[in-house]
Amino acid sequence: AQTVTQSQPEMSVQEAETVTLSCTYDTSESNYYLFWYKQPPSRQMILVIRQEAYKQQNATENRFSVNFQKAAKSFSLKISDSQLGDTAMYFCASQRNNDMRFGAGTRLTVKP
Partner 1 sequence: GAGVSQSPRYKVTKRGQDVALRCDPISGHVSLYWYRQALGQGPEFLTYFNYEAQQDKSGLPNDRFSAERPEGSISTLTIQRTEQRDSAMYRCASSLSPGLAGARAKNIQYFGAGTRLSVL
CB of 83 to partner 1, least distance (A): 22
Using the contact rule CB under 8 A, the part of the chain among 12-20, 32-40, 59-67, 78-86 near partner 1 is 32-40
Using the contact rule CB under 8 A, the part of the chain among 45-53, 56-64, 71-79, 80-88 near partner 1 is 45-53
CA-CA distance, 95 to 34, in Å (whole number)?
6
Is 105:11 a contact under the CB 8 Å cutoff?
no
Q: Using CB under 8 A, which of 17, 26, 81, 99 touches partner 1? A: 99
Q: Of the two residues 80 and 100, which places its CB atom closer to partner 1 in the complex?
A: 100
Q: Using CB under 8 A, which of 14, 47, 60, 69 touches partner 1? A: 47
Is 10:99 a contact under the CB 8 Å cutoff?
no
Q: Where are the beta strands (DSSP E) in 22-63?
A: 24-26, 33-39, 46-52, 60-61
Residue 32's identity, in one-letter code, is Y
Using the contact rule CB under 8 A, the part of the chain among 14-22, 38-46, 65-73, 74-82 near partner 1 is 38-46
3-state secondary structure of 78: strand
